[in-house]
Amino acid sequence: MLSMLVKSLLIWLGILVLAIVNGALREAFLVPSLGQIPGFIISGVFLSLLILFVTYVSLPWLGVRRVNHFVAIGLGWLILTVIFEFSFGLLQGKTLAALIEAYTFKGGNIWPLVLLVTACAPYMAAKLRGWA
């Protein structure tokens, strides 16, 4: 059980790094060249695909095969992501209202869908592998 927790945390940390790089690329290239709405949508879709890919590839290493474990890992990733987003945002001096706005689909932001993918990714990857 501890091994599963540690491995799932390591996978989430890898996803976190990819999400940060994705956000930096969005702000540096996508939004300036395509505009805010297309930039946010493309970035969100790409990040969702990255999350699914990383989860699919890492699932054998994770070593779990029970549906309740896939669900628990996804919910854990969701909770960690939301805690990280709010903690990091508050440390940057953002207001709570500004942080909550990211969850409203405003201006092409599809962050709530990315969070849904994050929560469902272990189960979806297991389904794709025929494990669930």
Q: How much is the mean pLDDT over the chain?
A: 96
**What does the pLDDT read at residue 132?**
86
CA–CA separation, 127 vs 122, rounded Å?
Answer: 9
pLDDT computed for residue 79 by the predictor: 98
Does the pLDDT value for residue 39 go beyond 90? yes
59-71 pLDDT tens trace: 999 999 999 999 9
Residues 2 and 126: their CA atoms lie apart, in Å, by 20
Average pLDDT estimate for 13-21: 98
pLDDT at 1: 72
pLDDT at 30: 98
Question: What is the mean pLDDT of the segment spanning 94-122?
Answer: 95
Would you kindly state where each structural domain of the chain is located, as residue ranges? 2-128
Angstrom distances, CA of residue 2 to CA of 6, 40, 92: 6, 36, 33
Nearest 10 degrees: CA dihedral of 117, 121, 123, 126?
140
Taking residues 72-98, what's their average pLDDT? 97
